[in-house]
Amino acid sequence: MKHATAVTIESIGSFVPQRRVTNDQLAEFVDTSDQWIRSHTGIGARHLAEDTTATSDLAVQAALDAIERSDLTKEDIDGIIVATATPDYVGFPSTACIIQDKLGLNGIAALDVVAGCTGFIYGLEVARGMILGGTMHHVLVIGAEKLSSIVNWKDRNTCVLFGDGAGCAILSASGSADERRGIKQTILYADGSGADCLIVPRGGSKAPLQGVTVAAEDVTIAMEGRKVYNFAVAKLAETIRTLMEDNDLTIDDVDRIIPHQANSRIIQAAANRLKIPMEKFFVNIEDYANTSAASIPIALKNLEDQKGLKKGDRIIIVGFGAGLTSGGVCWYGNEYHPLPRSGAQYAGMGKDFHDASPAVRELFELASECSGIDMREVLFTGDAGLLKQTAYTQMAVTLVNMAAYTILRERGSFPTAPRVSVSVNSQLIMPPASSPLRVCSPSPQPGVGSWESMQTARHSRSESWVWRQ
C-alpha cells in the first residue's frame, strides 16, 4: 500500500436514541428542576437508549450513517477504532470487534481506546498514525456511549449530566498536496494523579464484584466536580492556545472550535480566559447533554448538517475527560457536500437553500411549473418514501443541486464557474452571468418524467440535462 502524505476526515455520521428526556421529565423522578440544570450546565434534554440497546448498537448506526455520507462502501473500510467508557462487556471482547461483526467486516483490524471523554480525539490520532504508517487506508473512528447504564439515578449531581449516543468519522489516506485539507496537528495529554476524580469505583481487577454486596454507587459514575471543572477549563484554554500558536493561527483565522460538550459553563470559562467570543464555539449540549466520547463527533455531524463546514475551514477540536485526560486537533476541513448521495434523499432537503435566497425560490417555482409537480410539497412536506421513487428522485436531486449552485454563485464561491443549463422538454432554465436563473421558450406539458444527461463537447465548459416525459 502506498503511504499517505496526509489524513483527511472523509465523512461524519451520528446516531442518538429516539427517546428524548427533557429536564422537566427528569424532575419527575429526580430531585431537580429545569432551572437548576440549565443554570448549572446548559443542558435542556438528553437521549436515552432502551435497556436492550448496547453501545455497539448505537455505534453501528453511526458508522452506517458515516459510510452512507461518504463516497466509500463498507468494503473499503480496513480498520475500526472505538472510543468508549461503556463497552458492551467489561474487559473483553472489545466493543470494536462486536461492531466489526455487526457490520459484516470480519478480518479487518478492530480495537477499543479508553480515554474517557477525550477518547474520540485519542482515536483520531491512533487512526492517523496507522494510516500514515501504511497499515490502513480508510478507518472508522467511533465514539459511542450508553452512559445511562452507569449513572446513579439517585445522584442528582451526576445523573442530570449524561446522555447516550454515538458518532463516527471516517479517516482516509490522502496524497494531496493541498495544505488546506486534513489533520494538521494533534495534542494528547494525561495526568493519572487525577484518576479518582472521575471514576466507576468497582468492577475492575482492583475492586472486583465477586463475593461482595454491590451498591448502586459502587458501579456508577462518581465525580469530584470542582476538580474536574478546574482541570477542564485550564486544559481547554491551554490546548486551544497551543494549537493556534503551533499552526500560526490567530483567533480570526479559526473558523470554528468544537469542544467536548460537558458543561456550557466550562466552555464559557475557557472562552473568557482566552478572550474568544462564544460565537466561535459550536455548542449543542442543550439537546444532547454529555455523551462522553461521542459528544465531539455528534457535534461535528450537527455542524455539517447546518452547512457549517466548508472546504479549507480551520477547525479546532478539543476535549477533556476521565484519567484525567485532554487533547486537541487542528483540522482543515474538506469540501462540504450539501446533498447526501443518491439513494439517501430525505424530506426537507434543500429547504435551507430555498429560505435563504429569492433566486432559489424562483427556481422552485419554475421547476414546479415546468414539471407540473409542486416541488416544495415533494421536498419539504412530502413522504420521504416518495423521494426514493425514480420519477421524483432525479428531479429532486437535480433541483437541489441547482439550488446549492445558485447559493454558491451568489456568495462568490464560483468566480469562474461554468454555465449550467437545464432543459425541461423545450423549456430552458439557465443561470446567466448577470442573474442566477431565467426561463426561455414555452412550457412543456405537465407530467412525470426523468432527467437525462445531455452529451456535451469534450472540452466544453457547460453542462445540461434534459427532462424526458
**Is residue 26 in some structural domain?**
yes
Residue 361 lies in a domain: yes
Check residue 376 and give its pLDDT. Answer: 83
Among this protein's residues, is 272 annotated catalytic?
no
Structural domain includes residue 341: no
3-class state of residue 46 by DSSP: strand
**pLDDT for 439:** 33
Residue 339: inside a domain, yes or no?
no
d(CA 285, CA 260): 9
User: What is the structure's pLDDT at 428?
Assistant: 42
Q: How far is the C-alpha of 344 from the C-alpha of 378, rounded, in Å?
A: 15
Q: What CA–CA distances, in Å, run from 279 to 62, 262, 267, 289?
A: 27, 17, 11, 19
pLDDT of amino acid 342 = 45
What pLDDT does residue 442 have? 35
On whether both 364 and 307 belong to a single domain, the answer is: no
* Domain stop point among 332, 361, 383: 332
Q: What pLDDT score was predicted for residue 368?
A: 85
Verify whether residue 260 is a known catalytic residue.
Answer: yes
Residues 230, 376, single domain; the answer is no
Nearest to 251, CA basis, from 259, 260, 241 = 241
Q: Which residue has the cell 412536506?
A: 381
Angle, nearest 10°, between helix axes 358-371 and 390-410? 150
Catalytic residue of the set 117, 159, 168, 370: 117
389 with 317, same domain: the answer is: no
DSSP string computed for 239-270: HHHHHHHHTT--TTT--EEEE--S-HHHHHHH
328 and 359, same structural domain? no
Q: Which residues span the domain enclosing 234?
A: 6-332
Residues near 83 by beta carbon (within 8 Å), at least 6 away in sequence: 112, 113, 114, 115, 119, 120, 122, 123, 141, 142, 143, 144, 293
User: Which cell goes with 224?
Assistant: 469530584
pLDDT score for 468: 43
Catalytic position from the list 23, 290, 334, 425: 290
In a domain, 343, yes or no: no
Q: Are residues 322 and 403 in the same domain?
A: no
CB-side neighbour CA atoms (13 Å) of 462: 15
Rounded to an integer, what distance in angstroms lies between the CA atom of residue 57 and that of residue 212?
A: 31
Of 274, 299, 332, which closes a domain? 332
288: domain CATH number? 3.40.47.10
Reading the block at residue 166, the C-alpha cell is 454515538
In a domain, 1, yes or no: no
- How many domains in the chain? 2
- Do 53 and 125 lie in one domain? The reply is yes
Domain-located, residue 90: yes
Domain end position, chosen among 272, 297, 332 = 332
Same domain, 359 and 302: no
Instruction: Confirm whether 10 is domain-assigned.
Output: yes
Helix (H, G, I), strand (E, B) or coil at 274: helix
Q: Exposure of 87 by Cβ count < 10 A (0-12 exposed, 13-18 middle, 19+ buried)? A: buried
| Other beta carbons within 10 Å of 305 | 12
40: cell is 448549572
For the whole model, what pTM was predicted?
0.73
264 vs 129, 199, 269, 286, 379, CA distance in Å?
32, 22, 9, 9, 35
Q: Tell me, what's the pLDDT at 467?
A: 41
Burial classification of residue 183, based on how many CB atoms lie within 10 Å of its CB (0-12 exposed, 13-18 middle, 19 or more buried): buried
Specify whether 279 is located in the same domain as 425.
Answer: no
Q: Tell me the β-bridge partners of 429.
A: 422, 439
User: Is residue 53 located within the same domain as residue 195?
Assistant: yes
Residues 280 and 385 in one domain: no
Task: Report in angstroms the alpha-carbon separations of 414 from 245, 311, 405, 433.
Answer: 32, 13, 9, 11
Catalytic pick among 137, 138, 260, 354:
260
355 and 416: one domain?
yes
Whether 290 is catalytic: yes
Please give the Cα distance from 231 to 28 (Å, whole number).
Answer: 33
pLDDT in tens, the chain (469 residues): 456 788 999 999 999 999 999 999 999 999 999 999 999 999 999 999 999 999 999 999 999 999 999 989 999 999 999 999 999 999 999 999 999 999 999 999 999 999 999 999 999 999 999 999 999 999 999 999 999 999 999 998 999 999 999 999 999 998 655 556 799 999 999 999 999 999 999 999 999 998 888 888 899 999 999 999 999 999 999 999 999 999 999 999 999 999 999 999 999 999 999 999 999 999 999 999 999 999 999 999 999 998 888 778 999 999 999 999 999 999 998 654 444 444 455 666 777 788 778 888 888 888 888 877 888 888 876 565 666 666 677 778 788 888 887 877 776 655 444 444 444 444 444 443 433 333 333 333 444 444 444 433 333 333 444 444 3
Same structural domain, 440 and 324: no
pLDDT at 232: 97
- The amino acid that residue 69 corresponds to is R
Integer CA distances (angstroms), 396 to 69, 92, 189, 447, in order:
18, 47, 48, 15
Residue 390: predicted pLDDT: 65
Q: Are 425 and 444 in contact (CB under 8 A)?
A: yes
